[in-house]
Amino acid sequence: MSTQATTSSALDGGVDAMAGLALFGKTAAALIVVIVLILLATALLKRWQTQRHPHGMPLKVVATTAVGSRERVVIVEVDATWLVLGVGGGTVTKLHELPAASVEPVSTPASPFAQRMAHALRRQRGKRAAPSSDNAVDDDPTP
């Protein structure tokens, strides 16, 4: 009888292991089904959003400027109207509405530092493009 008891306990251990594997298989299958459902939902949402908002929508950012660390003033052209919007802190506020100008707004002139930096970069590129001798004298009076 002792051999039957040993065989029976060994079979019970095998059945427990099989039940554990079956439970693991069911859990893995359920996880795969959930992941597939999430992927299908995102694909459907992307398709629905592109149909709802076509890419050819007449919307153009004309100008933008920062007025704080997280706040900006943005001019957006929609059809023949410019909207002046305040953007910051997760909100967008319409500040003003005016008819679109036929000319783009002029940009502010560069600061003296920006002009000097641009000039220095041009000189640097020129030196790389055409190496000159060590005896060449720089005629530019700006440092």
Task: Give per-residue pLDDT as tens, 34-43.
Answer: 999 999 999 9
Indicate if the pLDDT at residue 101 is higher than 80: no
For residue 122, is it within any domain?
A: no
d(CA 143, CA 135): 18
pLDDT at 129: 62
Mean pLDDT (the chain) is 77
d(CA 25, CA 17): 12
For residue 10, is it within any domain?
A: yes
Confidence of residue 11 (pLDDT cuts 50, 70, 90): low
Indicate if the pLDDT at residue 109 is higher than 80: no
Counting the structural domains of the chain, the total is 2
Q: Tell me: do 67 and 87 sit in the same domain.
A: yes
The domain in which residue 92 lies consists of: 63-99
Secondary structure class of 22 (helix, strand, coil):
helix
For residue 27, is it within any domain?
A: yes
d(CA 47, CA 131): 56
pLDDT at 99: 85
For residue 116, is it within any domain?
A: no
pTM above 0.85, yes or no: no
